[in-house]
Structure formats: structure tokens, C-alpha cells
Amino acid sequence: MADRQRTILICSCDDTMPLDGAAVRQVCRGADVVTGRQFCRAELARAQHALNGEQPVIIACTQEVPLFRELAAPFRDQDGGTLGFVNIRETAGWSQDAKLAGPKMAALIAAAAEPMPEPDVVNVTSTGKIVIYGKDEQAIDAARLLKDGLDVAVLIKPPGDVAPQRVTELPLFKGTIRSVQGYLGAFEMLLDDYALPSPSSRDRLVFGPSRNKEPARCDVLIDLSGGQALFPSADLRDGYLRADPGDPAAVLRAVLKARELTGTFEKPRYVDFRAELCAHSRAQIVGCRRCLDLCPTGAITPNGAHVAISARICAGCGQCAAACPTGAATYALPPSDALLRKLRTLLTAYRDAGGTQPVLLVHDSTQGAELIDALARYGAGLPAHVLPFEVNEITQVGLETVAGAFAYGACAMRFLTRAKPRHDITGLHKTIALAEPILAGLGFAGHRIATIETDDPDALGATLRALEPMTGVARPARFAPVGDKRDLMRLALRELHAAAPIPVDVAALPEGAPFGAIDVKVDGCTLCLSCVPACPTGALSDDPERPMLRFAEDACVQCGLCASTCPEKVISLKPQFDFRSATANRRVIKQEEPFHCIVCGKPFGVKSSVERVVAALEGKHWMFKDSQKRLDVIKMCADCRVAAMLEDKFDPFAAPARPQVRTTDDYLREREEKEKS
């Protein structure tokens, strides 16, 4: 933690947990650490005094955040980094290991002081135009709850046997949603079997002629049809509210939620994207599609040579950013460098305060935080050596964060997820599968990284307390995280290699890893160099002076575009991480002598290729059978070839004269001449 003048308020919460003010002062150098018993009630005046000042304040309590924000409002900008909160009660103090949790409390407070940049936002506007998609009167009843002040329409799914409205209160149509796309404020649908009700309907609604592919738009879509969800990961699509029609409480919750979805909303831009770094495709040949395969909401679509990410559809899982090999997609809530700085402060402060064998528990702010809270209130709490590390989504964590955690001294990592995740977490499992062989190859024995998939706080506590003791690196790194995502990843891996128990040079990686080399069957390579312009990162390069193919492993992202582009199909991928690649020179894969023009002596082409072409054509192909000049043109550079064609006035590719066309008269004349003779 940086040496900044700030005030830190820590209370024992009515002596329900022990405090170690000395440990906090040791790691938060220069801070004014104020301890107490009850800052939110009995000692509120002391808290008010600190909040009235100009120094930044960190309060080690999250339960009374609204109260402290209200007290601070007249005196400070709460969004300017001058007021922060951290939970040390449920995460450390309320535990059977509370007496040993002093280093953890100090580390959590120190990490809370790390500034987090504010994310960019996009505006989403909803005018309150709502479509309720149902199959019976339940959809009409839901619409009546919303019709006052909102523009509501009901779409009845066939057969839709419903009674007519006594008074036409709201628009009602029949139809099946064929397809739908969009987001809150901009849903676009295509309807099949679309029809209007007849006003003369008597005991049940009768509809007029139907038509298909009828377009429709709305701002909010409430799905009470009871069928399959209209979107993948449906609960992550803003503005799409789906409820089981057999659950009245769920239907009511959807209706109440729809009431709130009118106006202009600010949505965080979870992912920053730089199209120029994307390795999706080149020359209409698809290379990397990691993000497309992992996105649970369909927010990512191909867009020419790169992909496009819709910020209004993106739900912020971060799997695309964690898997992106080039750093084209980076997570912004917070960025990777800010997350690593907080992680460095947490682990460094824990060690400086006397903590040992830290286990990092990565969790989200919803289910994970609630589970930790329940474990502290009704169970044994977290073990003293387990450091909770809250992120927006656990799937945002990439290899750079994992490598940085172990380089900074973590002994193990566990990711807390739901028993049934809200969306597919394949990206997280791929990150773990990528990190495991690197850690094992560097001498980290044991089960170092895994998920804990549970909704039971007792199961969480039992799993954490059953972990076998593990040791981390002997000399933890203290490197400052700087650079973009790709640079951070390589920096963290190099620092981990330097501190590892067994610093091997090369670690084998599973298929699909973003690092590696290429294998080239040199005998089959003609040095056509078509792979060079296809490479999006410049890992493959040529030499303007002579036929040569070079490779820089440090830049390779294993996108496969070189292998797909190669006409001879002699390139294959070899996933691995070579810790020496950052300082290694470009490796020459193949080089040959150039062919020298027989007129001017200028080098061009590949000598073996030109000689092979000449040998294949000389005396065999009709174009070159009787013409040495035509063969000589092949041995000339581009400039001399044009000059030879102009000076000698010949077309080197001219075909021989075609035979004269014969007619019926020619055949009859020949027959008459033959008869006369």
C-alpha cells in the first residue's frame, strides 16, 4: 500500500471480534488507525469527526455503509476515492480462527486502499413499450397491472384459447416469436402466424388471416409462454424477463421489475476492445474464435477480419477477455493491471503482517459474498489463512492474474462458484487447465488451483478447512503490474518462473493455449511466404534481401491462421510456453539462395523453385517445347521480363496457331477430288 495520509476506522463490533491495530499500522504506513467498539452507534461522534476532515477515510464495516455515506455527504465527494469500505467482520473477525486473523484483517484493509478506476458506461434508453408473450389470460392479467402509464401489448401464443375483452383496454395479437434479437430498449422480433383479433368475437377470441415474418419492436419483453427461453443465458439479457407461468410469485416479480425499466440507464462497458489487435481472421480464413465460442449471451459476432462486441448485450462475464490471446479484448471492471495491483497489496501486506500459507478465495460480489456472510454468521467462518478476493465475475480472471497470485506468494487458489452457475463457465475451466501444467512444471506440487461449486456455506467451510498445507515461493515477487494484457501475462509468468521452486525453460500446454511454437516440415516448404501476411501478430516474418522465413515465439498466439493459409499444409501448431522466448532472437525456419536474373543479375524468387519450374516445363509443355526465349523469360526478374517482351515483340505465353476451321463444303470438295482421281 502506498504511503498516503488517510484515516482508518476499525471497531470490534461490540467486542464480537478481536482487533490487531498494530498489524494494520505496520502494513498501512503513515495512516491514522483509529480503533473502537461501535462507530455506528455509541461512538458515532468519533466517526463523524473523521468524516468531516479532508483526509481519505476507510471504514472497516460494510453493514452500515448507508449511514456513513449519509454522514459524509455534506463534506466529501464519495465517488472521488476519499471514502472506502471493507468487510473484515464476516471475512475475518467472525471466525473460530479470529485470534489468528490479524494479518488477514490488515491485508484486507490495505488492499481496500488501492484505487480502482471508474469504468466507462453506455446509455440504454427504454420508453416503456412492453410486449407480454403468453398463452392464456394470465398474460392479459399481467398487462392490466402495467397498462397505467406504460405502453403494453399482449402477444398470445397459438392456439391461444382466451375470452374476449369486455372493453378493449390494451392491444392484443396472436403470433409465435420466430426470432428475436436486441437488448433493453431495442428488441426486434419476427412473428409467425401473426393475426389481429376480430371485434365480433363472442365466447372466445377469433383471429383474422395470419401472416408470417411480421416485424415487431419493443423496449421490454416479458415471456410468460412457458416454452424454451428466447435467448441464451436468458437471465443475463437486460430487458428480457422470463417467468414460469405456473409460479404466480415469479410472474408478479417479473411485472414489478418491468415497472422499473423505463428511462435512461447507465450500463458499464465491461470489455474494452481494440479491433486492430484481433486475430479472428485474415483473407476470409478464420483463425482465432475463442471469444465467440465462450460468450454466453451472443454479444460477440464476426465482423470482417475481427469481431464486434455489443456493450449493450454484454453481461460482463469476462470470459472473452480472459481467453483473448492478443489483448484485443480486455476487462474493464477493473482492468487487469488494477486487479493485479490490488492482489499484490493483499498478499504483500498479509506476509508483512506475519501471515503464512495464504490461500486465495476468488468470489463474486453476489452469491460468493452472501455465502461467506452466511458461513460467518451461522458457521465456523473462514480459516485465518484464506484471503477472500472479490471480483465482479470469477470468469473474468485470466492467466495473468493466476500467475501473478502465485508469484506474489499465494500457496493455492480456489474459485467459488454456484452449484448451478448462471452461465457456462467453460472459460474459467480453460484458464485453470492452462495454469495447472505451468504450475506443475515449475515445481508447485499438489492441487493448487480448482473451483468450489456449492451453494452451501457449511460445504464451503469444510472444503477450505480440508485443504492440505502448501508452501508458496521462497521469495515472493513484488513487481509492479504495467502494460497491456498480453504484456502483463508474460511479465507475470516470467516473475513466477524466476521465483518458482523448479524454474524449467519450457512448459508444455494443452491444445488451444495462447502461447506456443510452430512445426514446419521444411522439406515441403517452398518459401511462398503466404503465411507471413496472414500472421496477425508478426510472429512470422520474411527478409526483403533473400528468401527466408523467420519465427518469433514470443509473439505467437496460436491462432492457426498460418496453418490454414499454407498451400503446402506443412505448418502445425505446438502449444507450449518457453520462458526464454522474451529475450530470444527470431528463429530462422528456412532460408535458400535467391535466383539471379539472367539479364541484370538482380536476385528474385527462390533458386530451387525457379529451377524446379524450368525443369518441369523444358521440352515437356507445349508452350516451352520449341522456344528457348520463353524459358529464358521465366529466369528474368519482373522488370527484365517486361522489357524482353516489348523488345522482341513476342508473347511468351502465346499459344500455337489454331487449325483452320473446316466446313461442309471442304469435306464435299475433298470427296469429289478423291472420286475424280
What is the distance between the alpha carbons of residues 199 and 202, in angstroms, rounded to a whole number? 9
* pLDDT of 383 over the 80 cut: yes
Q: Are 359 and 325 within one domain?
A: no
Contacts of 166 (CB under 8 A, 6+ apart): none
Going by pLDDT thresholds of 50, 70 and 90, the confidence category of residue 621 is low
User: How would you list the strands of the sheet with 540-543, edge to edge?
Assistant: 540-543, 546-551, 587-591
Q: Are 25 and 155 within one domain?
A: no
What is the distance between the alpha carbons of residues 520 and 574, in angstroms, rounded to a whole number? 10
Residue 639: predicted pLDDT:
86
- Domain with 575 in it: what CATH number? 3.30.70.3270
Q: Are 228 and 156 within one domain?
A: yes
Residue 623: predicted pLDDT:
61
Residue 24's SS3 state is: helix
What is the distance between the alpha carbons of residues 577 and 597, in angstroms, rounded to a whole number? 43
Place of cell 390494451: 170
Range among 156-165, 353-362, 520-529, 537-546 with highest mean pLDDT value? 353-362
Which of 455, 478, 504 represents a domain boundary (last residue)? 504
- Chain centre to alpha carbon of residue 398: 9
| Residue 575 is assigned to a structural domain of this protein | yes
- Domain with 277 in it: what CATH number? 3.30.70.20
CB count in 10 Å sphere of residue 296: 20
25-46, pLDDT tens digit by residue? 999 988 999 999 999 999 999 9
Q: Are 532 and 478 within one domain?
A: no
Q: Are the beta carbons of 391 and 336 closer than 8 angstroms?
A: no
117-150, pLDDT tens digit by residue? 988 999 999 999 999 999 999 999 999 999 998 9
| Residue 113 is assigned to a structural domain of this protein | no
Mean pLDDT of 91-106: 97
Q: Are 422 and 314 within one domain?
A: no
* pLDDT of 622 over the 70 cut: no
What is the distance between the alpha carbons of residues 210 and 521, in angstroms, rounded to a whole number? 62
| Residue 534 is assigned to a structural domain of this protein | yes
Mean pLDDT of 325-342: 95
Q: Are 257 and 404 within one domain?
A: no
Q: What is the pTM of this model?
A: 0.88
561-610, pLDDT tens digit by residue? 999 999 999 999 999 999 999 888 999 999 988 888 988 988 888 888 88
Residue 3: predicted pLDDT:
46
* pLDDT of 619 over the 70 cut: no
* pLDDT of 466 over the 60 cut: yes
Residue 602: predicted pLDDT:
86
What is the distance between the alpha carbons of residues 596 and 303, in angstroms, rounded to a whole number? 43
> What's the total number of domains in the chain?
5
Mean pLDDT of 143-169: 90
CB count in 10 Å sphere of residue 37: 14
Q: Are 300 and 315 within one domain?
A: yes
CB count in 10 Å sphere of residue 297: 20
Residue 652: predicted pLDDT:
54
467-501, pLDDT tens digit by residue? 999 999 999 999 999 988 999 999 999 999 999 99
Residue 46: predicted pLDDT:
95
Residue 649: predicted pLDDT:
67
Q: Are the beta carbons of 131 and 357 closer than 8 angstroms?
A: no
Which of 543, 563, 591 represents a domain boundary (last residue)? 591
Which of 331, 347, 368 represents a domain boundary (last residue)? 331
The angle subtended at Cα 315 by Cα 422 and Cα 345, nearest 5°, is 90
What is the distance between the alpha carbons of residues 144 and 170, in angstroms, rounded to a whole number? 8
Instruction: Give me the percent of the chain exceeding a pLDDT of 70.
Output: 96
Q: For all residues of the chain together, what is the average pLDDT?
A: 92
| Residue 672 is assigned to a structural domain of this protein | no
Q: Are 495 and 360 within one domain?
A: yes
CB count in 10 Å sphere of residue 349: 26
221-268, pLDDT tens digit by residue? 999 999 999 999 999 999 999 999 999 999 999 999 999 999 999 999
Q: Are 484 and 363 within one domain?
A: yes
| Residue 101 is assigned to a structural domain of this protein | no
Q: Are the beta carbons of 427 and 435 closer than 8 angstroms?
A: no
Q: Are 409 and 462 within one domain?
A: yes
- Domain with 187 in it: what CATH number? 3.50.50.60
Q: Are 416 and 481 within one domain?
A: yes
* pLDDT of 326 over the 50 cut: yes
Residue 1: predicted pLDDT:
40
* pLDDT of 80 over the 70 cut: no
Q: Are the beta carbons of 337 and 483 closer than 8 angstroms?
A: yes
Going by pLDDT thresholds of 50, 70 and 90, the confidence category of residue 645 is confident
Q: Are the beta carbons of 6 and 56 closer than 8 angstroms?
A: yes
What is the distance between the alpha carbons of residues 69 and 329, in angstroms, rounded to a whole number? 35
* pLDDT of 2 over the 50 cut: no
Q: Which of 61-75, 376-390, 543-557, 603-617 has the lowest mean pLDDT?
A: 603-617
Q: Are 205 and 310 within one domain?
A: no
174-193, pLDDT tens digit by residue? 999 999 999 999 999 999 99
Residue 584: domain span: 516-591
Specify the higher pLDDT residue, 663 or 345. 345
Residue 330: predicted pLDDT:
96
